[in-house]
Amino acid sequence: MTPSFPDRWRVSNPVLIAETFSSHIWKVAFEDGRPGVVKVLKPFEDVADELRGRHLLRWRRGEGLVKLYGVDGRRMLIEYAGERLLAAEIDTAGDTRATDIAAAVMRRLHAPSPFTPPTELQPLRERFKSLFNKAAADRKAGGVSPYVEAARIAGRLLDNQLNPRPLHGDLHHDNILLSARGWLAVDPKGLIGDPCFDAANMFYNPLDRDDLRLAPERVAAMATTFSKTLGRDPRTILDHAIAYGCLSAAWHHEGGNRQDEDGTLAVSAVIRAVRVKF
């Protein structure tokens, strides 16, 4: 079924280019022939988590992120970011090059802005709710788990956030694309907190590359690169990665996805081992 969009957007020729658990993605054409994208969010439980990202898109005005052109309910008209994912850069130019690109995008995302940050962003502490709940349940059960240690790390990091600012919140190899304006991030979650959080998910991606995700030398190299980008101690970068990984695993646990939970915890264990040596 061909969708209809607001007349004020003046777009045509919709072509469905992707469908995820949360949305339909339509490529459209503007009146001058330029391509655009309409993201239509499905009515699912966490739709507010997806909608929050529009506030960050509007605030950044295309700096490091795709531009937001319009919002209509659960529909967003955004800049077309191209089709080449950062993950593809690993195969052609190597993983180090892909990490450098991600670092450059991160630098742009965190660049100072003359505009007041939006108030609708989710505080980082609130984001970690699932990890704290899982750790509390494990403690109550009397067991020792990586969740308990990760919650302790997360609590320390959240109590000592340095230079909190608006964050993408889900930066990884499939959320960075090569557009006509260069490499840009898409699909932000719209958080606010310590900038180191935006480096954390990179360690766990690409999801189908365990040869990279489980390689200690890659973990160490990423920590060094992102520490230079963010001006922070690499051990702090690794701590954020440990905390984030167990948060992600807690989400998988809540969803009953044992395979992805175990896979994420395996990567987190490698990061913890590398952290000890820094």
CB 263 within 8 A of CB 253: no
CB 41 within 8 A of CB 22: yes
Query: Sheet holding 176-179: strands in order across?
Result: 84-85, 176-179, 182-185
CB 37 within 8 A of CB 78: yes
Angle CA 15–16–18, to nearest 5: 145
**Active site members:** 170
Q: Are strands 122-123 and 191-193 parallel, antiparallel or unpaired?
A: parallel
What is the rounded CA–CA span in Å between residue 167 and residue 160?
Answer: 17
Nearest Cα neighbor of 13 from 32, 27, 34 is 27
Helix or strand or coil: residue 275? helix
The residues with which 70 forms a beta bridge, in sequence order, are 77
CB 193 within 8 A of CB 212: no
Long-range contacts at 9-18 (CB < 8 A, ≥ 24 apart): 9/38, 9/69, 9/70, 9/72, 9/77, 11/36, 11/38, 11/77, 14/38
